[in-house]
Structures are given as structure tokens and as C-alpha cells.
Amino acid sequence: MLDLHDIINGLQEVLPILGTLTGHPEIGVLSSRLLQLGEDELQRRTAISGLSRSEELAEAERTYRQFRIENEAAKKMGHENE
Amino acid sequence: MRLARRQLAPIALLTLLIITTAGFKGCPSSNDLDRGAKASNELAHDVLLANRVLVEFYTAGKIPLAAKDKIADKLGTIGDKGEKFNATLIELDRKYPQGTMPPQDLQFVRDNLGELRKLYSEVLADLLPFKAQKAVSALDKDLSTIEKVVK
């Protein structure tokens, strides 16, 4: 039986090649990056199963702190020279 | 080859979203506050993931600067409200360690989650013009699951 991680790894290898072959390497890179996000999310969800209520809330608190950092960076993208 | 090029990003998006929705199972806990905490944590990760997807789309040149700015601002608003909501849940967790809340507090939790869900739906609508229908559909399904948890 195929493992989801194996499928992801396979797609991550194939998509950039397809992107290059079709003359749009940026789409291949984007696809590969999205798959990496998916892989990270899958690992996170596997790791957090069975958390207590307080642990869930603490995890959410940490995640929002991380979000704030990344969201500020996202807002600044494209405005570096302003 | 043209077909392959068109399908690259949707394949990746679809796979990402299958992963994000497939891993979520209904909360096995038995009280209101447990379910609220689970929903709050799910929402925090959804917002973080949405922000990362936005950055990847912008970096790849698939979303223009103005749209990126608008969506990033909206996500920032959701993050602020979500963080306050989570802080309130932490207070409620201390106040009601048994996990059962009085009706007014339970209604407060539901109202807040409903507002956050509405704001997030607006972000998903903003993504639609960028051929992210599959992403929007799957993320919306994920949010429906969260909403159901709190009901």
C-alpha cells in the first residue's frame, strides 16, 4: 500500500521537472513548495493528536506568535525599498 | 505539455489540501471548552498555513502586490482576533477547569468563532480570482469542520 509521504516525495521530484519541461519552472517550484507545506502540516497533525486542552491552547498561542512574525514579513514583501 | 503546465499548481494545491483536511478528525473530548480549544488551535494553524500559501503564490508571481497586501492585511486581522480569542479561552480554562461553561460564555465562544470563520471566508473569496478554487473549497470544508466542533 502506498504511503502518503512517498506520494508527496514522488510529486515533489516530478513537479519541478514538469515545470521546467513546460517552460514554466516557477510553477514547478511553487508546486513543490506547496507540497512541502502539506508535508509539514501532515507531520504536525500526526504529532499533536491527543493533546490536552491546556496543551491545545498553548500550541495555538505559540502558533499565533509565529503567525505574527510571518505575517509581518508577508506584509513587507514587495515594499522593501519604500 | 500545455495540459501538464496548467495542472501543476492545482495538483500541488489539491495534495496540500487533502493532507490538511484528511488529518483532521472530530474531537473526541466531551466538553465545550475542550472543543473550543481544539477549534482555536486548528484555526491558528489554518491562518498560519494560509499566510505561507499566500507568500508562495506571491513569490511565484501568481498574485499581484496589491492583492497580496490586501490578503495579508486581512489575515493579520484574523490573527489578532484569533489570538485574543485564544487568550480568552485560556482564561476560561482557568476559570472552569472541569471544562463546562455557563451558557453566556459558551455563546461568547460560538460568536467569536463564527466571526473568525466569516473573516476567513472573505480571505478565501479573495483567493478565488487566482484560480485557487480547489484550495478555497477544501479550506472551507476544513472550517466547516471546526465550526461543527463548537456547536
Per-residue pLDDT reduced to its tens digit, A46-74: 676 788 999 999 999 999 999 999 999 99
Note whether A24 contacts B90, CB cutoff 8 Å. no
Same domain, residue pair A45 and A66: no
Answer yes or no: is pLDDT of B32 > 90.
no
- Parse chain B into domains and list their residue ranges: 2-150
Q: Could you report the per-residue pLDDT of B61-105, keeping only the tens digit for each?
A: 888 999 999 999 999 999 999 999 999 999 999 999 888 888 888
pTM: 0.72
Query: Are A34 and A70 in a shared domain?
Result: no
Q: Is the dihedral of CA B74, B77, B83, B84 positive or negative?
A: negative
A12 and A38 both lie in a single domain: yes
The three cell numbers of residue B78 are 484574523
Confidence check: pLDDT of B147 > 80: no
Q: Do B142 and B20 meet the contact criterion of CB atoms below 8 Å apart?
A: yes
Helix H segments across chain B? 2-22, 32-59, 65-95, 103-127, 133-150
Give the pLDDT of residue A21.
72
Determine the residue type at B39.
A
Residue position matching grid coordinates 471566508: B121
Q: Chain A contacts of B48, Cβ < 8 Å?
A: 63, 66-67, 70
- Collapse the DSSP code of B1 into the 3-class scheme (helix H, G, I; strand E, B; otherwise coil) and give the result: coil
> Is A56 found in the same domain as A35?
no
Q: Do B15 and A63 touch (CB under 8 A)?
A: no
Residues A42 and A75 in one domain: no
**Does residue A5 share a domain with residue A21?**
yes
* Residue ranges making up the domain that contains A6: 1-49
| Overall domain count for chain A | 2
Angle at which helices B32-59 and B2-22 cross, to 10°:
160
- CB contacts, 8 Å: B81 with chain A: none
B20: pLDDT strictly greater than 50: no
Query: What confidence tier does A2 reach under pLDDT thresholds 50, 70, 90?
Result: low
Q: Are residues A62 and A39 in the same domain?
A: no
